[in-house]
Chain A
């Protein structure tokens, strides 16, 4: 007799849940962490949607795309949040994404946004972060960095395993084009090591292993706002800084298309955008009414924003990788 009761109980529970529609959002791991934007975003959206918002996390942006590709049309995802513009061309090629239909939006981005499939939710500039109390001469360009004494060391991330690493690769390529290989050769003596991902590199920098680390112009804001420490700064480079724009898209076969669209719309609202600066430590794609948090005004603002359009990034990255590998393997 126990089994029918149990089955009925389970069935009842499932039916009770079925009353509340579930919106599944795939994202990268640090977004859903207790210290990321995830918890606040979930609470705010569930207040207005009458739904159950469920985040599913997968490594970083590249791992996220790999997961979507593996799952294909059977994916449970309704929305994918956390790809960047270097990945969107490959994401669009999967044919899994729908057009967002939210055309007339204004973004506070340094570049124009024209993509009918993906919508940006935050952005940042890659930059080398240093400790003001330790570095005597702050380089103002890649060439100036290369010209510094060899004992000035930087830690970078591997482009094959991390999105910031890939960003640096494209930064050098966008700034120097055919001279990229030469620039890498100049940088080579300064590269202490190359790490798997951002966390390892940033950890090594904070431990004092290197003078500079490839991170974001917004990194010093964390130390200032969360730790009251103003010793960290980002070096402004004359050739401009490469941008990372993080985007989200709606899955075409989603069984909750209306909710998914509502989520994308919500993503650009104040409730979502105001959480971004002090949880994801990036610039919001739409500046909230209250403006940016105190401390963001101390950050450097590059004169030139460098970025490859989605298709172009995919086209140059293999050449750039080969140049990088050859220069650093010598």
Chain B
């Protein structure tokens, strides 16, 4: 068994190193900002109001996203129909859109002059006023329902097909299936999904501000922004950022405490057939959930397409240059994400549960980071060493990779753990180690999450405005930045065309990778 040390020797240091790098980028940048501060003020009443509002909206947003996702994901897991794969890809679109594009799409449907108001006003109702907490939650559900659905869908697909076969052989009713197969799965997957959405909503800023209606809807992230831009109080910004980390940490710990591994044992990876969903009432229910989910998520996208389609052909050439730049950043970012996430997931599977959990938590920490603090911290750290402008694109790719790492780990870590648990002993007994083990045993089982990870991180990076706005010079605009520049120059129609281009490219990247991961896999 001496050679057993070999795979540990590769995976463990690589994973720990990756974890360290991520920690440096999340907490290290915060420390850089804090150290640069002179004095700094304590927390005021307004800051506590921001903390309260942030927690309220994040809890509601995560709750609704996950609740709806249970029904939508179950319907998707139970049903096979033409266009299902396309629907799953399209449902992912809102999550990867830049905020301003998504908000304008949402307003075209739910706004005062949107489709819904137009339909209601003749009936003597409306116009709909979504501004306030409800608008914030609506937008966050729009953004995060697709992610929650994907995470839960992966949970459903992780239940071995043999279990459903057995359930069918034993004559399980849908209720029995729900109790014995679905409930334990949800118990293990839901807390994680809830926390991921909660954390994303915690750091929300532009959505909460634009649809929140006013200063009541101040989030911690806006308070951080204010400390930088309005007061230039770096100490205060660092303090608020630390509070943000603390709150997110508590939320994550709670989720770890609540989540229980589902322990279905291993299956043979056979395609899934669902005998339990074959009743007309369930068919109808699933159809309704799928229609509602699709309408809610796709109508705003359709409005973005409708508004942008006419202006797409005549876009200025600079927009295409920016698009090319964004594609390169997105591909680099996807590669870095996988290079960080895979070793971390492998190392976590090798470590004891607590240590592995700690490593994954470190990797997830970046979700609580304020992009503004991270960008500024990096700026402070890099400025003495090099010209930040020259590093704008590599820094953007790296920060984007770290920002999508939590989602990558959520998708990869359970799959790695399960593959190790189910096939690790067999692989050991056959003496398959190192890269052969990765190639023969793990990767075939990881194709789906790896494809998802690459697709998601590339698409997220594509749509992210992020740190580029802090670092860019004249010729370095990415597509989202160019979109903002068009808007700032009053060119809203070109901006609508650029938004559509961004939507197409983000979704295209996601689809390519995700599909690559699903070839021969029956999703």
Contacts and interface: CB of A to CB of B under 8 A. Distances in A.
Interface of A: 29-30, 32-36, 38, 54-59, 62-63, 65-67, 69-71, 74, 76, 90, 153, 158-161, 166, 188, 191-196, 198-200, 202-204, 206-210, 219, 222-223, 226, 279, 281, 321, 324-325, 328-329
Given A30-B485, A90-B232, A207-B111, A193 B215 contact: no
Given A153-B112, A199-B487, A199-B488, A66 B226 contact: no
A200 B215 contact: no
Interface string B112-127: 1100000000000000
Nearest to B111: A209
Most chain B CB within 10 A, of A65, A192, A200, A223, is at A200
Contacts of A69: 232
28 contacts: A30-B488, A32-B473, A32-B474, A33-B488, A33-B489, A35-B485, A35-B486, A62-B230, A63-B470, A70-B36, A90-B232, A160-B225, A161-B226, A166-B230, A192-B112, A192-B131, A196-B210, A199-B487, A200-B103, A200-B206, A203-B487, A207-B104, A208-B111, A209-B111, A226-B490, A328-B215, A329-B49, A329-B216
The A interface is mostly helix, strand or loop, or mixed, namely helix
B315 to A, nearest CB: 12
Contacts of B131: 192-193
Contacts of A188: 214
B230 A209 contact: no
A161 B104 contact: no
Contacts of B14: none
Given A193-B213, A325-B215, A204 B107 contact: yes
A74 B383 contact: yes
Nearest to B131: A193
B384 interface: yes
Nearest to A65: B232
Contacts of B472: 29, 57
B500 to A, nearest CB: 15
B425 interface: no
Contacts of B49: 329
Contacts of B420: none
A159 B209 contact: no
Contact of B209 (A191, A196, A321): A196
Given A160-B222, A193-B210, 9 more contacts: A29-B484, A29-B488, A36-B488, A57-B472, A70-B380, A193-B213, A194-B214, A199-B100, A329-B214
4 closest A-B pairs by CB: A35-B489, A208-B113, A33-B485, A30-B488
A17 to B, nearest CB: 14
* Interface SS of chain B: helix
Interface in B123-182: 131, 135
B304 to A, nearest CB: 12
Contact of B210 (A191, A195, A198): A195
Contact of B384 (A36, A74, A281): A74
Interface in B76-122: 100, 103-104, 107-108, 111-113
B511 interface: no
B15 interface: no
Given A32-B474, A203-B104, A222-B490, A70 B383 contact: yes
A194 B230 contact: no
Interface in B455-494: 469-470, 472-474, 477, 481-482, 484-492
B379 A70 contact: yes
B490 A29 contact: no
B212 A193 contact: yes
Interface of B: 36, 46, 49, 100, 103-104, 107-108, 111-113, 131, 135, 205-206, 209-216, 222, 225-226, 228-230, 232, 316, 318, 376, 379-380, 383-384, 387, 389, 469-470, 472-474, 477, 481-482, 484-492, 495
Contact of A200 (B135, B210, B229, B379): B210
A160 B229 contact: yes
A85 B477 CA distance: 28
A198 B488 contact: yes
A208 B212 CA distance: 18
A329 to B, nearest CB: 5
Contacts of A206: 492
Contacts of A219: 490
Contacts of A192: 112, 131, 213
A161 B229 contact: yes
B230 A207 contact: no
B490 A281 contact: yes
Contacts of A57: 472-474
A209 B484 CA distance: 19
A188 B376 CA distance: 34
B470 A29 contact: no
Nearest to B472: A57
A206 B387 CA distance: 39
Contacts of B212: 193-194
Contacts of A207: 104, 107-108, 111, 113
A275 B169 CA distance: 78
Nearest to A69: B232
A82 to B, nearest CB: 12
A18 to B, nearest CB: 16
Given A195-B209, A325-B215, A158 B222 contact: yes
Contacts of B379: 67, 70
Contacts of A199: 100, 484, 487-488
B492 A203 contact: yes
A29 B213 CA distance: 27
A30 B489 contact: yes
Contacts of B474: 32, 38, 54-57
Nearest to A205: B492
A193 B106 CA distance: 15
Contacts of B222: 158, 160-161
A38 to B, nearest CB: 6
A279 B491 CA distance: 11
A200 B483 CA distance: 12
A187 B210 CA distance: 18
B377 to A, nearest CB: 10
Contacts of A329: 49, 214-216
A223 B489 CA distance: 11
A65 B229 CA distance: 8
A154 to B, nearest CB: 12
Contacts of B316: 34
B496 to A, nearest CB: 9
Given A34-B318, A90-B232, A328 B481 contact: no
A149 to B, nearest CB: 14
A161 B209 contact: yes
Nearest to A318: B231
Contacts of A222: 490
A153 B205 CA distance: 23
Contact of A76 (B104, B387, B490): B387
A192 B222 CA distance: 19
Contacts of A324: 215
Nearest to A223: B490
Given A33-B489, A66-B228, A325 B46 contact: yes
A261 B472 CA distance: 25
B103 A55 contact: no
Residue with the greatest number of chain A CB neighbours at <10 A, chosen from B36, B216, B384, B474? B474
A35 B135 CA distance: 33
B489 A70 contact: no
